[in-house]
Every structure is written in C-alpha cells, then in structure tokens.
Amino acid sequence: MEAKLAYICKQFRLPGELILQRWIPTGHINTAYYVALYDGKEVRQYLAQKINWYVFRDPVSMMRNIDLITQHIMSKEPTLERRRRLHFHHTAAGNNYLILKETAEGFVDQSESGESLGEEPWNTDWEFWRLYNFIENSVSFETAEGNAEILRISGKAFGKFNRQLQDFDAGRLVESIPHFHDTVYRMNSFFDAVAADPLGRAAEAEEEIAQIRENREFAGTLCRQIERGELPIRVTHNDTKTNNILFDRDTHDPLVIIDLDTCMPGLACYDFGDTIRFAACTAEEDQVEGMQLDLRLFRAYTEGYLAEMKTVLSEAELESLATGAAVITLELASRFLADYLLGDKYFRIDDPKQNLRRAQAQLTLFRDMMAHMEDMRRIIREVAEA
Ligand code: ADP
Ligand code: GN1
Ligand code: MG
C-alpha cells in the first residue's frame, strides 16, 4: 500500500516524501487513508480516498457535484478557515481525481497513458482516487453515547448545511446514485433480492422479510407525497450520520461536513431522519440488543436542526420529519438485508453476519419509532413553537 500511496501523492503533486500512512476504518463504502509527507522542513497531512466504483458508477460527475457544492458553501462563507473546508487537490491533467492501475512494471495513470477504461471500469483493475486536506485535531462519532450535546450540535450542522444549499439549483447536479432514497424502488429491489435468493440465505431471515413486507406500503408514504407535489425537492446531503461530520476534538465545534458523495436532490426529512436513525438511539447500527429510540436525544437533535431550518421548511415538511426518520430506518433495513441476501457486495462488513445484524437492529429501531411516532411529532411541534 505504501508504494501506491506514495505514487498517488506524487501524481497529486504534493511536496515531500511520504513518511506515514494509516487506514481509517470508518465508513461502509469508500477506503480512506491518512497520509503524512515531509519535505525537510514541514510535515503536511492529507486524506487519500479510494472511491467505491461499484457503488458510484460515474465518479467523475460525482466529483464535479462535490466541487459545485463546496464552491457554493464557500460563497456563503468566503472567509472560512482552511480547517473548516474541504480542499481537493488536482493532478497535472487538471483533474480532482486520479484513475490508476497497478501493473508488473509499476503504476499507470490513465490520464497519462490514454488507455481506455472499458464499459465497466468497476470490474477491472482501474481504481478511482481523490486526495484532500486532512482535518487535524478532529473527531467523528460512531455513536453519540447518550450525549445530547453531540446531537444538538449535529442538528445545527446539518440544518445549516441544508439551509445554505436552499438556493442551489438542483438541476446542476448529477444523481450520483440514481433512486438513492426512492423507497418504492428500494422495496422493489429488496423483494427482487428475496426472490432471487442466490445464496439460499432468505430462510434465515424469514421474520425480517415478513416485517418489511408488512410495512412495504408505509415505505412509499413520502414518495406518494412527492408525486402529489406536497413536498419540495431540495439539495440534501442524504447520508447524515454523525461520522460524516468532523468535530473539533477538544471543543466539539462542528468543523466540516464530509462525505458529500450523495449530495443531490432529496428531501429535508431524510437528512433530519438519518441522523435520528444513526445517533438518537441506544445502540450501534448493527446492535440488536438494547436498540431503542432515545427521545431525549431526539429532542436535542430537533432543537439544533430547527434552529437553522424552522423558517425554511414548509408546514408539510415539518410534518414529514418524524415520518422521514421511520421511513429511512426501514429503507436501511431493506438495503442491509438485500446486501446480505446478495452476498455482501455493497456495504463493507467486519464479519459474515454483520449485514443481517444491521438489518435486524434497524428493524428493531423502526418498530420503536413507529410506537413513538406521536411522541416524535409532539416534540417537533413543541420545538417549532418554542
Ligand atoms: P465513507 O464513504 O466510506 O463513509 P468518508 O468520506 O465518510 O467515507 O470518510 C471515512 C472516515 O474518514 C470519516 O468518517 C472520518 O472519520 C475520516 N475522514 C474523512 N475525511 C476526513 C478529513 N478530511 N480529515 C480527517 N478525517 C477524515
Ligand atoms: C453508507 O459511506 P457511509 O458509511 O457514510 C451508505 C449510506 C447508509 C450508511 C449506513 C453511498 O454510508 O447510504 O445510510 O452507509 N452510503 C452509500 O450506515 O450507500
Ligand atoms: Mg461516511
């Protein structure tokens, strides 16, 4: 890996020699490495990331999206210090990405060799890399561990992100993953996976499959509201986990929102709801035991989010927030279980049953959210009226 990372740093024209590298194990999709270089005077730190090409089929357009989004945010806050923004480096070809492959003779940069990528580069040896500034002295949270302040701060950070993008023309973005939160499509894909059952794993998940089937109609609630023109499409983040915010390690000040790969047209209630799913609960994403919604954390996130978004959201959007949390939790249960049935090709797993456990934990949380739907709605009303 060291030789490859050194080559990547050279192609991105970074000064100095690679002195340190470390894999960062968080995130289910891409592969991130911390790298440090020394030029005899100064140590400089960066993040090199291999994009999951199987998941993001058009990563060049995705990088263009990210450029547009980061420029828009910069235009709102032009004096933002370096530590509070993402700065993507460019290769000699002027690209904010590098496509490479390893051969017996060494590494090949596709922009230099001019070789064709073929129809399905994700099934070849070509790799898609990007490189940006490493945010020093930062931390991201895999769980809030009951700390309501983390939720409040995250709500403010994602609320501000949504607010800053409200005047961004969604038509300028390419959908980096088509049908990403199209829950009717997700349900269809899920039941296709159940029907195919290529590994004979469906028998093991009969109960979970039945639960998803019982709630299939509910999963489409927000899709139907979009069709009726009741909910506006905004530019949203679409993956608002607390590990996609970098906080200052000492003060917990939210420095920067990362993982902009799925920034595209979407619903505010999913950006609201996905943090609730991930962090306003009592267990980790793949932990079935003890998994519940935590209404204290829910209130804290709602307070933070609405402090930024109350004046932006329509009445119908405000009404949709609690539904969004439940729908996205059910969506994730179906995605994790579909991936388990199809052989774990999408989400990175640490052990063979992790996707099944993730689905079970998400279904446990979903049931608890449905049982507390009225409580969530009441808290949202109270916070909005305060
Ligand atoms: P994934 O798509 O795999 O979730 P992310 O872009 O979220 O990839 O990055 C994975 C993890 O790497 C993050 O959760 C964070 O801990 C760390 N990370 C990402 N970007 C930076 C950065 N610029 N500085 C410091 N840490 C980072
Ligand atoms: C993935 O990449 P990461 O870990 O931030 C996934 C999200 C899921 C999340 C579940 C591109 O996010 O949609 O909600 O896992 N990202 C993609 O933890 O599919
Ligand atoms: Mg991430």
Nearest atom in ligand 1 to the alpha carbon of residue 30 is 3
Nearest CA to ligand 2 atom 19: 29
Nearest CA to ligand 2 atom 17: 29
Q: State residue 329's pLDDT score.
A: 98
Nearest ligand, measured from the Cα of 30: 1
CB-based contacts of 287: which residues, under 8 Å, 6+ apart?
357, 361
Residue to substitute in 22, 26, 52, 84 for testing ligand 1 pocket (most ligand atoms within 8 angstroms of CB): 26
pLDDT tens-place string over residues 140-160: 999 988 999 999 999 999 999
- CA dist 80 and 253 (Å) reads 14
| Count of alpha carbons within 13 angstroms of residue 18, beta-carbon side | 22
Residue at 279: amino acid letter: A
Ligand 3 centroid – CA 160 distance (Å): 19
Closest CA to 22 of 53, 46, 57: 46
- CA dist 382 and 386 (Å) reads 6
137 touches ligand 1 (CB under 6 Å): no
295 touches ligand 1 (CB under 6 Å): no
DSSP code string of 36-56: EEE-SS-EEEEEEEE--TTT-
Alpha helices in the chain (DSSP H): 2-11, 59-76, 110-113, 148-164, 183-196, 206-214, 216-219, 221-227, 268-279, 295-309, 315-341, 354-371, 373-385
- CA dist 285 and 363 (Å) reads 11
Nearest ligand, measured from the Cα of 259: 1
Q: State residue 203's pLDDT score.
A: 98
pLDDT tens-place string over residues 74-117: 999 988 898 999 999 999 999 999 999 999 999 999 999 999 99
| Count of alpha carbons within 13 angstroms of residue 157, beta-carbon side | 26
Nearest atom in ligand 2 to the alpha carbon of residue 176 is 11
pLDDT tens-place string over residues 246-283: 999 999 999 999 999 999 999 999 999 999 999 999 99
26 touches ligand 1 (CB under 6 Å): yes
Nearest CA to ligand 2 atom 18: 28
Residue at 345: amino acid letter: K
312 touches ligand 1 (CB under 6 Å): no
Which helix (H) or strand (E) segment holds residue 22: the answer is: strand 17-24
Residue to substitute in 24, 26, 29, 246 for testing ligand 2 pocket (most ligand atoms within 8 angstroms of CB): 29
Nearest ligand, measured from the Cα of 142: 1
Structure tokens at 30: 């891409």
Give the angle subtended at the CA of 233 by the CAs of 231 and 235, to the nearest 5°.
145
Alpha helices in 102-180 (DSSP H): 110-113, 148-164
Ligand 1 centroid – CA 248 distance (Å): 14
- CA dist 16 and 92 (Å) reads 17
Burial class (CB in 10 A: 0-12, 13-18, 19+), 169: exposed
pTM over the 0.85 mark: yes
Pocket of ligand 2 (CB under 6 A): 27-29, 55, 239, 241, 244, 259, 261-262, 285, 332
Closest CA to 309 of 202, 212, 385, 384: 384
Nearest ligand, measured from the Cα of 286: 2
pLDDT tens-place string over residues 2-49: 999 999 999 999 999 999 999 999 889 999 999 999 999 999 999 999
